[in-house]
Amino acid sequence: MDLINEKELYELVNKISVTYFQKPFIDDVRFNHRLRTTGGRYIPVKRLIELNPKYAMEMGQNEFIGIIKHELCHYHLHIEGKGYRHRDKDFRELLKRTGSPRFCSPLPSEEKNYKHVYRCKKCDQVYERKRRINIQKYRCGKCKGALKYVSID
């Protein structure tokens, strides 16, 4: 999917809102290029939906529409004064009714970008990390054994 401009993005979000929620989307939506670990977010104070443009470019239309539907669940429940947070029952029920994903898939460009590898001395469990960790402070999550640094990729 090619990156679309702000007006086309608003029209897409409004179309999805009317189709799945039978309500118009009347507030703001925009791309936020600084989002890294999430497909989108809803900011209740500003009534603003921000979407990660990388998902539109890398993941395809179905994944991007799923992210929009997820953020619209937050949006419509917030406007109605119902529970719009992830832990709320209203939110989880609306996700199911609209076929929206609970989480977005990781970006292919961000996957398996590990630089540091640690191994448990006791059970040989492997931990891959982007950042270095203090092996004096952290233990194996499986058996509580000591960790050792293996390599940098």
Question: Where are the chain's structural domains?
Answer: 6-98, 116-152
- Percent with pLDDT over 90 in the chain: 78
| Edge-first strand listing for the sheet containing 48-51 | 28-31, 48-51, 40-43
User: Catalytic site residue 6?
Assistant: no
Q: For all residues of the chain together, what is the average pLDDT?
A: 92
Mean pLDDT over 32-57 rounds to 94
Query: Catalytic residue among 50, 63, 71, 110, which?
Result: 71
Q: Which residues pair with 127 in a beta bridge?
A: 118
pLDDT at residue 1 greater than cutoff 70 = no
Q: How far apart are the C-alpha atoms of 117 and 110, rounded to whole Å?
A: 17
pLDDT above 70: percentage of residues in the chain = 97
At 71 the pLDDT is 97
Find out whether 67 and 47 touch, Cβ atoms under 8 Å.
Answer: no
pTM over 0.85: no
CATH of 6-98, one of 3.30.70.20, 3.30.2010.10, 3.90.25.10, 3.40.50.10610: 3.30.2010.10
